[in-house]
Structure formats: structure tokens, C-alpha cells
Amino acid sequence: MSLQGPGPSLQRGQKRTPEPRRTQREMMPYVPEIEEEDGSFGETATRHSLTEDELSQAAREVGRLSRDLERLREQIRTERADHEHLLAVVSHELRTPITVVGGFLRLLLAEGAGPLGEEQRCFLMRAQRACEKLGAFTKRLLEGARVPLCAGALDLRPATLGPVFTEVAAAYREALTARELSLVDDIDPSHVARFDSDTIERVLSNLIDNAIRFADQRIVVTTRRLCDNGRAFVEVSVVDDGPGVREADCRHIFAPYVRGEDAGSEGLGLGLALCQRLVEAHEGQIGLAASPGGGSRFSFTLPSEG
């Protein structure tokens, strides 16, 4: 009688021959191999495992760098707020004594306290000019600390740039005459933008003041319409025929407290930084380019209305 079971049949009294023992490698599931560039073979599972480890390590490193970057940003925001607060306090505290000194100087020059000799008048006029320079310095400090950082702080209304130009041109009439410069109005009255009038007057004033210091004969203020990523803007440009800006200065021209080599002794290097912050508060941009006829072309954009 034979017994049936898996494998070959056995007769009574016979013992099953044990099968060869399989190695651990033979018991593992089949893994296809691929040929490497050098002709050797490697298992795809091993390569996949290494890649996953590398990606995991890279993800952890990116996370760490992101946290470090956020800490640095917060530190910069805090330091900037402290710096602006200090500027505001210092400039505010200086304004009162400057106003008092300026008032007494005007009184003395008007001979309200008695007649003046020629030498006395000369001394007082020098003191008055120094007082005016200090007042202007303090004003720029205060302006730099009071810049609005968002559109919510602005009174945005649709308007043309013509009235703003008229105000600025009147304020700089004497300075233009002293340097024998012409200020040309090439503003298109059909170009309507949405902006805060007082704020953009400060921007245009700073740009024209900057142009007056470097122009040879004339300064032109012009506007044009343009489109960027589906949004319409009005571009305002202040173009002068001066020597232009050095290439080395162009990269940092809008950074606070940065002044070009040709800037002279006046100013804090805050004017163009102030312009940039004010324009960005309008969701616009400001930039510098060489003028085709020589000189500099400072341009900024404002959201178009209609």
C-alpha cells in the first residue's frame, strides 16, 4: 500500500528525503537588477532606499533653514521698528528748539530788537541758514520714520498727475531759476491713476529735487500707460540730462542711507528709499534706467483708473 501526498509517492517503510535548505537571499522576493554605467549591477530597492533617505534629510534641512530665515525676518522687523521709533522721537524733540531759534533770528534780522550793523547782520544771516539746514535735516528724518507701509493708510482717489506736478513745480521755481534749468510738463491729462495726492507729491518732489542737483539744462516729467500681468498702470518718469548714475551705485540706489559718490555733502540717503516705500504702498514699482539722450530716468508706476 502506498501513501499519496505532496511530492513523489512513498512505499511503506520509506523515509522522505529532506529538501535542500533555502538561503535567506533565495527566500527574499525577486528584485530586478539594472545595469549601471560602469557595467555593474545594483538592486533598484537599494537605490530607492538611498534616494528616500537623501530626500528626507534634505527636507529636514530645508525646514531648519526656513525656521532660521523666519527668525531673521522677525529680528529685522523688530530692529527696523525700534530704529524708526528712535528717528521719530529724536526728530520731534529737535523741531521745537529749532523753531524757537529760527523765530528769534527772524526777529533780530527784521531789527525788531534794534538796528543792526553790517557785520551783525552777516552773522545772523549765517546763523539763519544753518538753522534752516538743520530744520530740513530734521524734517527728512521725521518723514523717513512716518512712511505708510500699506494702502490702507492712504487716501486713494482717481486723479491725473497734472495738479501734483503744478504744486511741485511752484515749490522748486527758485531752485530751477538759480541753476538755469527748465522743468518740462509732458504729462498726458488723459492718464488717470488711483493714488494719494499728498504722498505722490512727496515722491515727485524727491525725484525732481534729485534731478535738479544733476541736470545740465532740463528736466522732463512724462507719463504713459502700460500693462503688467494683466493690470493697467500709469508710469510717471522724471528724466534729466545730467551725467547719469554710476553703475556701481545703481544696485543700491534705493537702499536707506546709501548715497552715491556724486551726491555731495547734503542729504541722508533717505530720499529714494522713501520714494520706494511710498510707491510700493500704492502697489506700484519704482526703478532707474539710463535716459536715451544721456542722464537718468527715474520711473514709478501707479494703478490706472479706468
Give Cα 199 distance to the centre of its chain. 17
Q: What pLDDT score does 265 carry?
A: 46
Q: HSE on the CB side for 168, CA within 13 Å?
A: 27
Longest dimension (CA), the chain: 150
- For the chain, the structural domain boundaries read 58-146, 157-303
pTM of the model: 0.56
pLDDT in tens, the chain (306 residues): 444 444 555 555 555 555 555 554 444 444 444 445 555 545 444 555 558 788 888 888 888 898 888 888 888 878 777 777 677 677 767 777 888 888 889 889 988 888 988 989 888 998 888 888 788 777 766 666 555 555 556 889 999 999 999 999 998 898 899 899 999 999 999 999 999 998 899 899 989 998 999 999 999 999 999 998 889 999 999 999 998 887 767 777 877 666 555 555 455 567 788 889 889 999 999 999 887 777 899 999 999 987
Q: What pLDDT score does 157 carry?
A: 93
Phi, psi values for residue 263, rounded to 5°: -75, -15
Q: Which CATH number fits domain 157-303: 3.10.20.30, 3.20.20.10, 3.40.605.10, 3.30.565.10?
A: 3.30.565.10
Q: Please report, as a single letter, which amino acid is at residue 96.
A: T
Q: Which CATH class is domain 58-146?
A: mainly alpha
Which of 305, 26, 11 is CA-nearest to residue 157?
305
